[in-house]
Homo-oligomer: A and B are copies of this chain.
Amino acid sequence: MIKTINMAEKLGRFQGHWSPKIVAELNDSYVKFAKLKGEFVWHKHDDEDELFLVVRGNLMIRLRDGDLHVGEGELVVIPRGVEHLPVADEEVQVLLIEPKTTLNTGNLRNERTVEKLEWI
C-alpha cells in the first residue's frame, strides 16, 4: 500500500532530539525525520553520503574548514568521509536520507548512538 507522507504530521508524532525515525524506504536508503537541538558530536560516515533537508528552523553544520548554514527550505549533502558536527541553537526539524547501513554517529559508537531506529 503506497501512502503519501505528510512531513508536518510525521514530525508531530515524536518529541526526542537526535533520534531519527524512519518513514520510508528508497532503494538502499531510508527516509527519516529527526528533531535536533543543541550540539551533536563530530563524526563522519566512511562510505555513505547523507542528505539533510531542513523542514523547520535553522541548522548549522560545522565542518573542519568552515560552517554551513542550512535554513528552512534548504538542503545539503554531506559527502562520505567528511567530518561534520550538526548544531541547532533552537529546535530544527529535518528530513534525512542515508543508506540503511548508516549509524547516526557514523564512525563512532557512544551514548548518542541509536542502534535500532523506529518506524513511524
- Indicate whether A114 reaches chain B with its CB closer than 8 angstroms: no
How many A residues touch B, CB cutoff 8 Å?
36
The one of B27, B49, B55 that contacts A25, using a Cβ cutoff of 8 Å: B49
Return chain B residues, CB-CB under 8 Å to A5: 74-76
Binary CB contact string for chain A from 12 to 35 against chain B (1 if under 8 A, 0 otherwise): 000000000000111111010000
Beta-carbon nearest neighbor of A76 in chain B: B4
Q: Are A63 and B2 in contact (CB under 8 A)?
A: yes
The listed residue with most B CB atoms (<10 A of its CB), out of A7, A27, A55, is A27
**Which residue numbers of A lie inside 8 Å of B, CB to CB?**
2-8, 24-29, 31, 48-49, 51, 53, 55, 63, 68-71, 73-79, 82, 95, 97-99
